[in-house]
Amino acid sequence: MNEATQPEVVKKAHRLEKTVEIAASIEEVWEALTDGRKLCNWFPLEARVKPGQNGSIFVSWGPDCEGEAEIAAWEPGKKIAWQERTALVEFTLEARGSKTLVRLVQSGFFTGADWENEWFDSTDYGWEFMLLSLRVWLELHRGEERKVAWPRLPVSVSREQAYRRLLGKGGLFREDAAAILLPGKKFALTSGGGEMISGQVELVKEPRGVCLRVSEWNNALFWVTIEGAGGKFDAQVWISTFGLPQSRVEELRQEWDSRLKSVLK
């Protein structure tokens, strides 16, 4: 089939919607969404907020992944939204007794082309982890500052292959983690280096990744994820820790960096 006769890709507008109920007051959730320092306890590694309508929000995970957006809505205790190019991100809050319902809507997506489909799926998956992080910080670690260990490694295999190698038997863990981890269930695993960890499975999204809450690390979030598109992927281990000394966080970074390299060499 030549270029002139190829079928036209049909574009469709989409938006994603997610909700999470958090055992915290609206005031506490609002601060977590709008205070730059508190944003860093569940969302980016660095954040700055110029509050108010037509203000701005800057978030960064490093020079290759950062940006600033204009605040499009600012209703304290009710709603914050920001606009960056075609994307509009909106958070609305609703009291549910002693809890707060957080509703996230992101619009401005179009699907049809492969890269557009991947962008939508990747963003949907990313917000699932971020909202989980928000809930865990407010419910279990409120008032504590996050320290992150983030080893990552470019891989030359597909996302599916990387997932199987990382989470299959003899990968990051001695057990076949991919077969035994179930969302919302308890787990116990032995790392390739021999450390036993246990806790709760918070998220499973095959073949993108899994997130575990680890009791032995003071309820840290341990997120194994394969990021990227177009055949170029990074295998990453993101560990959100609270109350651990920096020396222990560095030990975790070195340990799991070594394990990534061993599994995916």
Same domain, 194 and 131: no
Regarding whether 150 and 52 lie in a shared domain, the answer is no
Whether 179 and 74 share a structural domain: no
135 shares its domain with 176 = no
Regarding whether 202 and 151 lie in a shared domain, the answer is: yes
Q: Does the pLDDT at position 2 exceed 70?
A: no
d(CA 250, CA 261): 17
Q: Are 55 and 49 in contact (CB under 8 A)?
A: yes
pLDDT digits (tens, 9 = 90+) for 190-228: 999 999 999 999 999 999 999 999 999 999 999 999 999
253 and 217, same domain (yes or no): yes
Quick check: 112 and 10 in contact, CB under 8 A? yes
Token pair of 78 as six digits:
């009710």
The reply to whether 154 falls in a domain is: yes
Look up the CATH number of the domain holding residue 58.
Answer: 3.30.530.20
Spatial distance between the Cα atoms of 84 and 99, rounded to a whole number of angstroms: 30
Check residue 229 and give its pLDDT.
Answer: 87
Same domain flag for 103 and 23: yes
Final residue of a structural domain among 140, 157, 188: 140
Indicate whether 67 belongs to any domain: yes
Domain end (from 82, 110, 140): 140
Decide if pLDDT at 168 tops 90.
yes
Domain count, the chain: 2
Whether 51 is in a domain gets the answer yes
pLDDT in tens, 29-80: 999 999 999 999 999 999 999 999 999 999 999 999 999 999 999 999 999 9
Considering the domain architecture, whether residues 123 and 176 belong to the same structural domain is answered as: no
Does 205 lie in the same domain as 152? yes
124 falls within a domain: yes
Q: Provide the residue range defining the domain that includes 185.
A: 146-264
Instruction: With residue 238 as reference, give the H or E element that holds it.
Output: strand 232-242
| 94 and 52 share one domain | yes
Determine which helix (DSSP H) or strand (DSSP E) holds 259, and give its type and residue range.
helix 246-264
pTM of the model: 0.93
Cα separation, 253 vs 248, in Å, equals: 9
Do residues 20 and 90 share a domain? Answer: yes
Among 140, 163, 188, which residue terminates a domain? Answer: 140
Indicate if 168 and 242 belong to the same structural domain.
yes
